[in-house]
Each structure stands twice: as C-alpha cells, then as structure tokens.
C-alpha cells in the first residue's frame, strides 16, 4: 500500500512539473525569465496596478526576486513604477504602452489557452481540481512545518 502511494505521489509530482514546464517553456520562447513572465501575468490577470509588496504577498515571490525582475522590466521599457498617493515608498507597477502591447501579444494568448483548457473540463472536474489541489497544498504545508 505504501509503495502504491509513493508511485501516485511520483505521478502527481511529474504532472505538476509538466505544468511548470509548460509555463517555463512558454516564457523562455518569448525571451522572458519565469519571474518576468509571472509579473506580466499577474498584472494582466488583475488589470490594475500592484505594488511590489502585494506581488510578493499574493504570489509567493521573494522581495529580491520581484525587485530585480521589476528593475529589468523597467530598463526594457515595459513598466514604470509610480509612487502611490500619500506613500512615496510604495510604488505601483504599471505597464507602459510597450508593456501593454507585449502583454497583449505574449501573455494574453496563454491566458486564453488556460481558460479554454478549463472550459473543456466538466464543471465538477474544475471544482474537484481546485478543491483537491487546495487540500494537498494545505496538508503539505502542515507537514513541512513539522520538519525541524
């Protein structure tokens, strides 16, 4: 029984890695690092400005990773960092026209593909996927916290 669980866990991890590779290869083919791809993705998904702190908190990236990614995207002319009203320390991340054009050509087609893949699933499959994956993440987090 333990052997079967290990086999299933390996299959699950392979599927997860395959999903991760889909995003990685998509980003790489478009000249983006994984973190740059995800910053574009997050901004496109939300459709309003994020701050660096919000990106880190909502998407589980370190401040250092987001900071260096934002500096590179700013150098490339894809984003501008705009101080928030009343708090000059917090800066909103906004796409430039060039960034919007890039996102429209490179990020939004992937978002559409994701929506289509979900649309091709039955409603109960979508619900089950979200529910079960969420349970797995919570239980794994609990188990990892037990490790000294």
Helix H or strand E encompassing 131: helix 123-145
40 by Cβ neighbours in 10 Å (0-12 / 13-18 / 19+) ranks as: buried
Residue-averaged pLDDT of the chain: 93
Q: What is the pLDDT of residues 72-126, one digit of tens each?
A: 999 999 999 998 887 777 889 999 999 999 999 999 999 999 999 999 999 999 9
* CATH for the stretch 37-145: 1.10.10.10
Q: What is the pLDDT of residues 126-147, one digit of tens each?
A: 999 999 999 999 999 999 999 9
Share of the chain above pLDDT 90, in %: 79
pLDDT given at position 84: 83
């Amino acid at each position: 029984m333990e052997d079967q669980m290990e086999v299933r866990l390996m299959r699950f991890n392979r599927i997860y890695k395959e999903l991760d590779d889909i995003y990685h290869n998509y980003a790489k083919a478009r000249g983006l690092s994984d973190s740059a791809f995800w910053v574009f993705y997050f901004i496109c998904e939300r459709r309003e400005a994020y701050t660096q702190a919000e990106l880190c908190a909502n998407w589980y990236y370190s401040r250092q990773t987001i900071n260096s990614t934002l500096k590179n995207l700013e150098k490339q002319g894809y984003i501008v960092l705009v101080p928030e009203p009343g708090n000059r320390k917090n800066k909103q991340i906004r796409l430039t026209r060039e960034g919007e054009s890039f996102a429209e050509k490179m990020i939004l087609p992937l978002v559409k593909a994701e929506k289509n893949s979900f649309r091709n699933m039955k409603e109960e499959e979508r619900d089950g996927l979200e529910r079960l994956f969420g349970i797995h993440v919570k239980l794994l987090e609990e188990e990892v916290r037990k490790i000294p």
